[in-house]
Amino acid sequence: MLTCPVCDTHYTSESTRLIESRVESKADESSVIVHSDCKNCRSSVSFNIAMFGPEIFSIGAVSDLTAVDALRFRNNKSLTSDEVISMHTFLETFDGNFDRELK
């Protein structure tokens, strides 16, 4: 049974959702993304579990996304390297005045 990495509470089946599942039949590979919301501390974790033949790899990431957010964002277009560089350049000189920037 999975437990929350923040408060060690056991996740319930009601708080865990399958976000994505993929099977590559030719290469004997499959992967799933599972999202869990902790009812105790309200943190969220996404787990990516990948199976390559007999090998299994898993990684988890604490997130502020809910399962609904994860489902909504899973098919969004990825950021390009140019977009990342542009944001980095902007942040180098940003003085923290969000009111001015968001008008």
Q: What percent of the chain clears pLDDT 70, i.e. is strictly above it?
A: 97
Domain total of the chain: 1
Does residue 103 sit within a domain?
no
Does residue 70 sit within a domain?
yes
Distances (CA, A) of 43 to 14, 19, 52, 103: 15, 17, 30, 32
Does residue 64 sit within a domain?
yes
Does residue 55 sit within a domain?
yes
Does residue 87 sit within a domain?
no
Specify the 3-state DSSP secondary structure of 57: strand
Specify the 3-state DSSP secondary structure of 36: strand
Does residue 32 sit within a domain?
yes
Domain span at residue 27 reads 13-76
Does residue 46 sit within a domain?
yes
Please indicate, yes or no, whether the overall pTM of this predicted structure exceeds 0.85.
Answer: no
Distances (CA, A) of 68 to 40, 44, 58, 82, 87: 18, 11, 22, 29, 27
pLDDT digits (tens, 9 = 90+) for 6-46: 999 998 888 898 888 888 776 688 999 999 999 899 899 99
Q: How far apart, in whole angstroms, are the C-alpha atoms of residue 47 and residue 62?
A: 9
Unique residue bearing structure tokens 């579990």: 49
